[in-house]
């Protein structure tokens, strides 16, 4: 467990040294979201109707954008070998990396999204709901994206490939994340959606660390 904490702490410290990397991702999220009203038109009811979907899609893209370097940096400077050689399960290391990624992307996205939601004319209750869905849903994105990042380690054109691998697997989270917000707005069952989102996160938690570890081991060969 101490190794897990140490790895999360190390990755957070590395991000702290280069806050620009995170800032770029968050800026992308803001800019990408802003483009939708410009492309679609400023009618308030249309924007409020699509807000949840737009914010969720933009969050998904932003999360993927930042995943490219998740394992690549460790792979290039040789620290991946040290992780592979650490005397504790590699699955935990995989989880720690995804956990650190979530803290520096998923968490800020969940905080930022309601602010952008205001621009789409969402009600305060809906803004809170949006934030809640992102809090519960983004860990799944970090885990699935982490798997895609591990699988594409050392591949040609890894960035686009990563998105191709991760996006179809993220569809359920997208559907229930955006669906939850819409359910609240239209009087549906918000809690059921959140419960499914949490279940999806648990499935990802139960399956991806093993797959990531397997992918990292074969990248080390």
Partner 1 sequence: MADLHFLANPARFRRFSQRVVPSLSVATALMLAVGLYLALLQSPPDYQQGDTVRIMFVHVPSAWLAMAGYALLAGLGASLLIWRHPLAALMARAAAPVGAGFCAVCLLTGSLWGRPMWGAYWVWDARLTSMLLLFFLYLGHIALSRAYDEPDRGDRAAAILALIGVINLPIIKFSVDWWNTLHQPASVARLGGPSIHPSILVPLLWMAATLFLLFVLLVLLRTDTEIDRRRLENAEQQA
Partner 2 sequence: MATPLLEVADLACRRGGRRVFERLSFSLGPGELLALTGRNGSGKTTLLRALALLIRPDTGSIHWQGTDVAAEPDAWRGRLAWLGHLEGLKADLSVAENLLAAERLRGAPPAGDRLDSALVAFDLSVLARRAMRTLSAGQRRRTALARVVLTQAPLWLLDEPLNALDAPAQAAFRGALASHLASGGLAIAATHADLGVAGARTLELGEPQKASA
Residues that bind partner 2 (CB under 8 A): 2-3, 6-7, 9-10, 13-14, 17-18, 76-79, 81-89, 220-221
| Residue 128 Cβ vs partner 1, minimum distance, rounded to whole Å | 21
Closer of 15 and 90 to partner 1 (Cβ): 90
- 172's contact among partner 1, partner 2, none, with CB below 5 to 8 A by partner kind, is partner 1
Three-state secondary structure of the chain: CHHHHHHHHHHHHHHHHCHHHHHHHHHHHHHHHHHHHHHHCCCHHHHHHHHHHHHHHHHHHHHHHHHCCCCHHHHHHCHHHHHHCCCCCHHHHHHHHHHHHHHHHHHHHHHHHHHHHHHCCCCHHHHHHHHHHHHHHHHHHHHHHHHHHHHCCCCCCHHHHHHHHHHHHHHHHHHHHHHHHHHHHCCCCHHHHHHHHHHHHHHHHHHHHHHHHHHHHHHHC
| Residue 50 Cβ vs partner 1, minimum distance, rounded to whole Å | 13
- Cα 191 to chain center, whole Å? 21
If one asks whether residue 46 binds partner 1 (CB under 8 A), the answer comes out as: no
| Residue 203 Cβ vs partner 1, minimum distance, rounded to whole Å | 7
Closer of 18 and 156 to partner 1 (Cβ): 156
- 82's contact among partner 2, partner 1, none, with CB below 5 to 8 A by partner kind, is partner 2
Among 96, 110, 135, 138, CA closest to 12: 96
Residue with tokens 């009600």: 123
Closer of 6 and 203 to partner 2 (Cβ): 6
Chain positions 94 to 153 lying near partner 1, rule: CB under 8 A, are 147, 151-152
Chain positions 192 to 221 lying near partner 1, rule: CB under 8 A, are 196, 200, 203, 207-208, 211, 214-215, 218-219, 221
Closer of 8 and 162 to partner 1 (Cβ): 162
Q: Which residues bind partner 1 (CB under 8 A)?
A: 147, 151-152, 154-158, 161, 164-165, 167-169, 171-172, 175-176, 179, 182, 188, 196, 200, 203, 207-208, 211, 214-215, 218-219, 221
């Amino acid at each position: 467990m101490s190794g897990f904490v140490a790895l999360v702490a190390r990755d957070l410290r590395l991000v702290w040294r280069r806050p620009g990397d995170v800032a770029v991702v968050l800026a992308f999220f803001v800019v990408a979201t802003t483009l939708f009203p410009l492309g679609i038109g400023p009618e308030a009811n249309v924007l409020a109707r699509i807000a949840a979907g737009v914010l969720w899609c933009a969050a998904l893209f932003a999360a993927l954008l930042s995943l490219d370097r998740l394992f690549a940096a460790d792979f290039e400077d040789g620290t991946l070998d040290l992780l592979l050689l650490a005397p504790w399960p590699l699955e935990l290391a995989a989880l720690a990396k995804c956990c650190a990624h979530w803290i520096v992307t998923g968490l800020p996205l969940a905080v930022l999204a309601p602010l952008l939601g205001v621009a789409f004319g969402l009600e305060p209750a809906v803004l809170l709901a949006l934030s809640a869905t992102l809090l519960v849903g983004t860990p799944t994105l970090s885990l699935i994206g982490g798997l895609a990042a591990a699988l594409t380690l050392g591949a040609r054109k890894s960035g686009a490939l990563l998105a191709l691998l991760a996006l179809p697997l993220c569809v359920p989270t997208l559907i229930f994340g955006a669906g939850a917000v819409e359910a609240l707005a239209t009087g549906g069952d918000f809690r059921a959606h959140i419960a499914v989102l949490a279940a999806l996160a648990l499935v990802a938690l139960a399956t991806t660390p093993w797959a990531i570890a397997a992918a990292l081991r074969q990248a080390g060969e």
